[in-house]
């Protein structure tokens, strides 16, 4: 019978890869905690209308990427394509936004029916960060400072660059949209197919078209910058100043408009050149209108989401995976002969008490000296501890380095933890 396989674009994350995932996740968790962000966990499925009303009917996501289905009651449900909508829904539903500020984050799988390719999948994972109730550019700056710290802690250094833009108030965008449509309408036939369609549905998205012909027409098109309202302009100027003082380098990219309806004022992306076309590792912006649009009181909001697959791909591609994220084992404790089994389990237990954070694997299942040492070697551990008849008699243990040519030595069991602690620290 043919074996059943995973769904295209939905990946298994295998045991060799999970240490790197855990490194990225725990680093993010630690950094977010340092800034006082609190974790929130939402369901993976929401009512379809939530996404239609928040992301917007004429966006790529809602038009063609959502996994939407009818459940047994005939309700239209959707696997979440992103986290902001669900986060706002949950925060509103539980009164988290009333007269207060909130700094929230979440992580988990997202689902989009896109063409699978490197850095683009149908189930992928994001860490999302959202901040509610703060109006000024200081919080926009904080989010960008936080992300810069995260790249540092991940060892990414300067491999991600920041692009920012302001897309103004909705009134300003509306006026600009009119001017853009008037201008591009004259050249409709010369636009690429997607852009022709977007001229009627979502003309701002034409600004980030990759088509050379369309790009050429755009050089003389009206500029969003010239239509910005005074408040958005002031907000953007202040943000730039705050970033300058914080020492966060950025470029202003006037073509950056983001694909979702709910953004306004600040938008930003962290981009790398090392992943080809899927170079955006983190994206977000301000969305002051969304809470009200979903039935709540007007609430300032700003946030971003980063794609974990792309971050992990980047660390891998650049060879920046730290040792701790590569190794699944530190010490492998063998037991030679029936009599050694219980003492070896006890010795391993003692090592776990003493060697905080270290991975101690007990050999289970018996076998010859040779086969146990082979398994010790394959485990990735740096040291094998050998317990046999002689060692039991003398309350010692054999200690054998597995990644050098050094020979085996004999250590008193009472000294073993201290000796290993020192050896592993090198």
| Widest Cα–Cα separation across the chain | 93
Q: Is 275 in the site for ligand ATP (CB under 6 A)?
A: no
| 106 annotated as ligand-binding | no
The strand pair at 123-132 and 383-387 is best described as unpaired
- β-partners of residue 266 are 166
Q: What residue spans of 262-412 are helical by DSSP H?
A: 290-293, 308-317, 341-354, 369-378, 389-394
**Rounded to the nearest 5°, which phi and psi values hold at 141?**
-65, -45
Tell me, what DSSP letter sits at residue 255?
T
From the CB of 92, what's the least distance to ligand ATP, in Å?
A: 21
**Rounded to the nearest 5°, which phi and psi values hold at 297?**
-75, 155
| 82 annotated as ligand-binding | yes
Q: Is 86 in the site for ligand ATP (CB under 6 A)?
A: no
- Grouping H, G, I as helix, E, B as strand and the rest as coil, residue 321 is coil
Q: Is 280 in the site for ligand ATP (CB under 6 A)?
A: yes
Binder among 23, 105, 121, 332 for ligand ATP (CB under 6 A): 121
| 84 annotated as ligand-binding | yes
Q: Is 268 in the site for ligand ATP (CB under 6 A)?
A: no
Q: Is 120 in the site for ligand ATP (CB under 6 A)?
A: yes
Contact segment (CB under 6 A) with ligand ATP among 192-200, 236-244, 307-315, 403-411 equals: 307-315
Distance in angstroms (rounded) separating the CA atoms of residues 196 and 193: 5
Are the C-beta atoms of 289 and 55 separated by less than 8 Å?
no
Binder among 78, 107, 126, 209 for ligand ATP (CB under 6 A): 126
Contact segment (CB under 6 A) with ligand ATP among 29-37, 158-166, 306-314, 354-362 equals: 306-314
Q: Is 305 in the site for ligand ATP (CB under 6 A)?
A: yes
Residue 259 vs 322, nearer CB to ligand ATP: 259
Distance in angstroms (rounded) separating the CA atoms of residues 357 and 360: 9
| 197 annotated as ligand-binding | no
Across the beta sheet with 76-79, what order do the strands follow? 45-47, 76-79, 67-70
Q: What residue spans of 6-71 are helical by DSSP H?
A: 18-34, 48-55, 60
Binder among 86, 289, 307, 380 for ligand ATP (CB under 6 A): 307
Q: Is 114 in the site for ligand ATP (CB under 6 A)?
A: yes
Contact segment (CB under 6 A) with ligand ATP among 299-307, 318-326, 367-375, 410-418 equals: 299-307
Distance in angstroms (rounded) separating the CA atoms of residues 200 and 400: 71
- Grouping H, G, I as helix, E, B as strand and the rest as coil, residue 352 is helix
Q: Is 130 in the site for ligand ATP (CB under 6 A)?
A: no
Question: x/- string (CB under 6 A) for ligand ATP, residues 228-267?
Answer: -------------------------------x--------
Q: Is 124 in the site for ligand ATP (CB under 6 A)?
A: yes
What part of residues 93-112 is at the interface with ligand ATP (CB under 6 A)?
112
Count of residues in contact with ligand ATP, rule CB under 6 A: 19
Binder among 235, 286, 310, 363 for ligand ATP (CB under 6 A): 310
Q: Is 159 in the site for ligand ATP (CB under 6 A)?
A: no
Distance in angstroms (rounded) separating the CA atoms of residues 122 and 65: 9
> 21 vs 27, 43, 161, 172, CA distance in Å?
10, 21, 22, 42
Cα angle 272, 274, 280; round to 5: 35
From the CB of 34, what's the least distance to ligand ATP, in Å?
A: 22
Are the C-beta atoms of 372 and 363 separated by less than 8 Å?
yes
Residues found near ligand ATP in the complex (CB under 6 A) = 82, 112, 114, 119-121, 124, 126, 259, 278, 280-283, 305-307, 309-310
Q: Cite the annotated binding site by residue number.
A: 82-84, 112, 126, 130, 258, 262-263
- Residue stretches of the annotated binding site for L-histidine: 82-84, 112, 126, 130, 258, 262-263
């Amino acid at each position: 019978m043919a074996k059943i396989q995973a769904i295209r674009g939905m990946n298994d994350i295998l045991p060799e890869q999970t240490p790197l995932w855990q490194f990225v996740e725990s680093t993010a968790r630690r950094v977010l905690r340092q800034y006082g962000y609190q974790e929130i966990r939402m369901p993976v499925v929401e009512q379809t209308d939530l996404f239609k009303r928040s992301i917007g009917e004429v966006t790529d996501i809602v038009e063609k990427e959502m996994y939407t289905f009818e459940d047994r009651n005939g309700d239209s449900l959707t696997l979440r394509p992103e986290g902001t909508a669900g986060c706002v829904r949950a925060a509103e539903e539980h009164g988290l936004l009333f007269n207060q500020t909130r700094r929230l984050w979440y992580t988990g799988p997202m689902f989009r029916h896109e063409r699978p390719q490197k850095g683009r999948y149908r189930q992928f994972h994001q860490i999302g960060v959202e901040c509610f109730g703060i109006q000024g550019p200081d919080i926009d700056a904080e989010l960008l400072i936080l992300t810069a710290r995260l790249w540092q802690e991940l060892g990414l250094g300067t491999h991600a660059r920041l692009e920012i833009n302001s897309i103004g108030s909705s009134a300003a965008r509306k006026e600009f949209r009119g001017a853009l449509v008037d201008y591009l309408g004259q050249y409709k036939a010369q636009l690429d197919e997607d852009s022709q369609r977007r001229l009627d549905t979502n003309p701002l998205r034409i600004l980030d078209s990759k088509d050379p012909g369309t790009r050429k027409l755009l050089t003389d098109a009206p500029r969003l910058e010239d239509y910005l309202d005074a408040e958005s302009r002031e907000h953007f100027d202040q943000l730039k100043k705050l970033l300058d003082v914080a020492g966060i380098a950025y470029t202003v990219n006037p073509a950056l408009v983001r694909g979702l309806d709910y953004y306004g004022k600040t938008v930003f992306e962290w981009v790398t050149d090392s992943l080809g076309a899927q170079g955006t590792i983190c994206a977000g912006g301000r969305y002051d209108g969304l809470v009200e649009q979903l039935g709540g009181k007007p609430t300032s909001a700003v946030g971003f989401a980063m794609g974990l697959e792309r971050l992990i791909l980047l660390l891998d591609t650049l060879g920046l995976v730290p040792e701790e994220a590569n190794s699944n084992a530190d010490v492998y404790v063998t037991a030679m002969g029936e009599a050694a089994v219980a003492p070896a389990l006890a010795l391993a237990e003692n090592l776990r008490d003493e060697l905080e954070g270290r991975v101690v694997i007990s050999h289970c299942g018996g076998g010859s000296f040779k086969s146990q040492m082979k398994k010790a070697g394959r485990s990735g551990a740096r040291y094998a501890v050998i317990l046999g008849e002689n060692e039991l008699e003398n309350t010692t243990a054999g200690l054998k380095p597995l990644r050098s040519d050094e020979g085996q030595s004999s250590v008193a069991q009472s000294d073993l933890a201290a000796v290993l602690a020192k050896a592993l620290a090198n």
